[in-house]
Amino acid sequence: MRHLIAGNWKMNGRLEDGSAIAVPLRRGADGLFVDLVICPPATLLLTLSAVLIGSPVMLGAQDCHALPHGAHTGDLSAAMLRDAGATWAILGHSERRANHGETDAMVQAKVQAARKAGLRPIVCVGETEADRAAGRQNAVVGAQLIGSLPADFEGVVAYEPVWAIGTGRTATEADVAAMHAYVRASLVRHLGLPGQTTRILYGGSVKPSNAGALLALPDVGGALVGGASLNAADFLAIAQAAHEVAAPPVAS
C-alpha cells in the first residue's frame, strides 16, 4: 500500500526557509512510491506552489474556516487556500482544539467546507496523557471520530496522541497498532465500506529512526510529521522509509 507522508510545519518558516526545504524535497521525491504533502504556513503556499510546479510534492493548509466568506477577521476560507495552491487541509489538529477551542462539530463543518472547495481533509484525533492514564483513550478517540467526520467522509484520518506531539515520546508499536485497529473498526462502523480503505496516519514524534517500524504496522497508512518535516533530509528519510515499506526491493 502506498503511504501518505504529510509534513505539518505549524507556525514555522519564513520565505527563505520555505524554499530551502521545498527545493531539496522536489529533487528527492522523484521515484519514491509515496504520496508527499507539505503544509507550510498559509503565507508560503503561493510561493511554494511555484517552487513545486511539476513535482509530485503536494501542498496543504493547516486549517480553514467553515464558511466561504464574510466578516471573519484573520481567517482564510478553504477556497482561498485552494487558490493559493493547497490541495489538502489539516483539520482539527490538537493544537487548534486546545488553543482555539475547536469542537468536533466545528471540525466537521470545516471538513464539509474543505471538500466543497476541493481540499482533501486530514482530520486529526488523539487522546491526552490524562485520558490514556485513565484508560479512556478509545472512548475519546471514538467520540472525536464520530463528531468530526460526516457520514459521507472522504479523506484521511490522523491519530496523534497529544502526549507524543513535540515531546520526542513516540507511542509504542503495540499502542499504535491497537489504536489504529480501533480507529479502523470505528471508521467501518461510521462510514461503512469506505471506512475499510480510509488512510489512517500516525503522528507524534515521527522521525527517520522510528518511521520504518511505525509505517510497517497494520492499518498505518502514513505519517503526519511535525518537527522532522522542517528538515528536508529528515523528511526525505521518512519518505524513503515509507517507500521501502510499501515497495520492498525485489530479491535477485
Binding positions for ligand 13P, rule: CB under 6 A:
8, 93, 160, 165-166, 203-206, 224-228
> In this structure, what C-alpha cell is assigned to residue 159?
491519530
Q: Where are the beta strands (DSSP E) in 58-155?
A: 58-61, 88-91, 120-125
Find cell 490541495 and name the residue.
87
What separation in angstroms does the CA of 222 have from each of 2, 36, 180, 219, 242? 8, 10, 11, 9, 7
> Which C-beta is closer to ligand 13P: that of 45 or that of 79?
45
Nearest distance from residue 101's CB to ligand 13P, in Å? Answer: 18
Backbone angles phi, psi at 20, to 5 degrees: -60, -30
93 given a catalytic annotation: yes
User: Nearer Cβ to ligand 13P, position 79 or 165?
Assistant: 165
Residue with smaller CB distance to ligand 13P, 28 or 227: 227
CB-count exposure of residue 177 (10 Å: 0-12, 13-18, 19+) = middle
- Compute the distance between CA of residue 58 and CA of residue 41 in angstroms, rounded to an integer: 14
What length is written for the chain? 252
Q: Least separation, in Å, of the C-beta of 93 and ligand 13P? A: 6
The DSSP call for residue 250 is P
**Residue with smallest beta-carbon separation from ligand 13P:** 226
Shortest distance (Å) from residue 57 CB to ligand 13P:
17
Q: How far apart are CA 211 and CA 229, in angstroms?
A: 12
Q: What is the 3-state secondary structure (H, E, C) of 87-104?
A: CEEEECCHHHHHHCCCCH
DSSP 44: G
Query: Choosing from 65, 93, 180, 243, which is the catalytic residue?
Result: 93
Q: Quote the least distance from Cβ 126 to ligand 13P, whole Å.
A: 9
In this complex, which beta carbon is closest to ligand 13P, that of residue 142 or of residue 227? 227
| Cβ distance to ligand 13P smaller for residue 200 or 206 | 206
Q: Least separation, in Å, of the C-beta of 179 and ligand 13P?
A: 15
Question: Which of these is catalytic: 3, 127, 160, 180?
Answer: 160
**Which residue numbers are catalytic?**
93, 160
